[in-house]
Structure formats: C-alpha cells, structure tokens
Amino acid sequence: MTDTPNRVAALGECMIEMFRRPDGSLTMGFGGDTLNTAVYLARLGTPVDYVTALGDDSISDDMVAAWAAEGVGTGHVLRVPNRLPGLYLIETDASGERRFLYWRDNAPARELFALPQTPELSKALEGYGIVYLSGISIAILGEQGRERLFEVLERVRARGGKVAFDTNWRPRLWPDLDTARAAFDRMLALTDIALPGVTDLRDLYGDADADAVLARVRKAGVAEIVLKLEQPGCVVIENGEAVEVPAQKVATVVDTTAAGDSFSAGYLAARLRGEGPADAARAAHKLAAAVIQHRGAIIPRDAMPA
C-alpha cells in the first residue's frame, strides 16, 4: 500500500524563467512544466511535493523558498554543490503563442537519478499515491537515468500507487526519434493516467489523427486517458466510452505558457476529490482558461478561478 494515497509527487526540472517584454526589458521568475503543475495543484488544495535537483546558489535558494510559500513540499529537492539551475527565455507573438530559448545542458536536474541521494529519493517515491511527470521529465534524464526512473515507477505501481504522464513532446531534447519513441513506449506502458496531446504524439509517431493517437495510448494499456485535441477541448474515456469535453471560450489569449500544465493540475486535483473524468476535464479547462489570460507560467493568486 502507498504511504500517502492522496499525495502527489511531481517530478521534473524547474528553471530560471526570463520573460522578454515588447520594450526589450526582462523580468525574472521560475518555471518548468511539472513545477507549474505542482504549484497549481497546491493552490487547488492537493498535497504535492516537487522532486528535482538544484544547485547550492542563491537563486536555487529563492526557488525552494518560493515553492514552499506556494504550499509545495520541498523535502525531495536535492541540492548539488557548485551547480546552477537551467535558464529559459520566453518570447510571445501577437496571438499569445510562445517561443522558448533554453540554456539547460548542465542543469543538476539532469542527474536526478544519478546522485548520492538518489537511492533514498527512489525509496521515498514508492510511497506516493500519484507520481506525476512529463515527456520533458524523461527527456532530460538520459538513458541510464530513465532506466532507473522506470524501475522506480514499476515499484510505485506494485505498491498501489498510480503514474500520471503528460506527453509534452520536445524534439530538441532527444538525440533521435528512435530513442524518443522507445522511451515513450516504455513510459506509456507504465502509465495509469495519460494526458497526451494529439500534436505531441502525431509529431513523435506520425499518427494520422486524434483517433489514431487515442488508439495508440489505449493499446499501451493505459486505464485513464485525457486526450488534448488540436482545437480547444479534450476527449476523456469514461465508462469505456470516448466523451469530448470542449474548452471554455476565452475572448483574449494573452500567453499560452502553462496552459497544459495547469490543465493537468486541474484534472488531477478534481479526480483526487472524487469527480469523474468528464467533470474533472471541465474543471481543468476552467483553470487553463484563466491561466492563458495572463502573462507567465504562474498567474496571480487572485486570478485563480473559484
């Protein structure tokens, strides 16, 4: 049995986030796909810990303090001496679509499953009700790190925990398609709750359309699927049937950063409250609709939907 059945471990990388304003000035924050999800989970009242590795620098200190202030548990944030976190720059166009520039090759999070503290961390992860991660989480680890992670996920499931996976495909993080496909195949086979994007798996595997993507994920044996469509909306599998849940309409899209990350948080939080998949997807759309009307990955607290 899991030690904390309603607690989520969100695993991945947080980086320094620089946002470039139209006048060329920069503002600094923190961001990363699974970290964004962890923050929104905490704001929704879901117990969540963030699992990553940082340096021993002052900015890493600020990151940990900021997460703790949001209610995110930081007991499994590993610190690596004489290292610095990665950095990325966001630029957005007139329609709110974003472009990312990264400096992350030497980030400590890449060695999360190759550090002296890794065995203790791996044991702790086995006790969570849900371990949440993304395609970026598995991409940055490299082959040996991924293999150690997959072994941990097998033990999580053996103890009754669940694995939730957001595909979040980023081709630049992978050496080639064959390596990426093999890793995603293995990851999907270890997944209980999948949050794939049609564009992610279409680009990765060459699937023709949403039906083909859904069939692939179902064939992998995933019990619960929330397929994010190209048009605003998603398809959930409820009582064995595919149900389309449209997204909330938004008058003005300001910044789509963290739209998917917040969607995942809204969905998982609702499911842990006992809501069914379709209702959970509606709650997820509601949160994502609020997020895309603000700049940056984490919106102000007072902008959170009721």
Catalytic residues, by residue number, are: 261
Neighbours of 133 (CB within 10 A): 25
Question: 198-205 and 210-219 are packed helices; what angle lies between their axes, rounded to 10 degrees?
Answer: 80
- Using alpha carbons, list the distances in angstroms from residue 27 to 101, 255, 291, 295: 15, 15, 18, 11
Judge contact between 292 and 250, C-beta under 8 A: yes
End-to-end CA distance of the chain: 34
CB within 8 Å of 169: residues ≥ 6 apart: 135, 180, 197, 199, 200, 201, 203, 204
Tokens for 205?
């595997």
Q: Beta 15-20 vs 26-31: how paired, if at all? A: antiparallel
Instruction: Give the whole-angstrom CA distance, residue 75 versus residue 229.
Output: 36
Least Cα distance to 189 among 222, 238, 160, 224 occurs for 222
Residue 9 buriedness (CB in 10 A; 0-12 / 13-18 / 19+): buried
Judge contact between 284 and 269, C-beta under 8 A: no
DSSP 111: G
CB within 8 Å of 70: residues ≥ 6 apart: 39, 42, 43
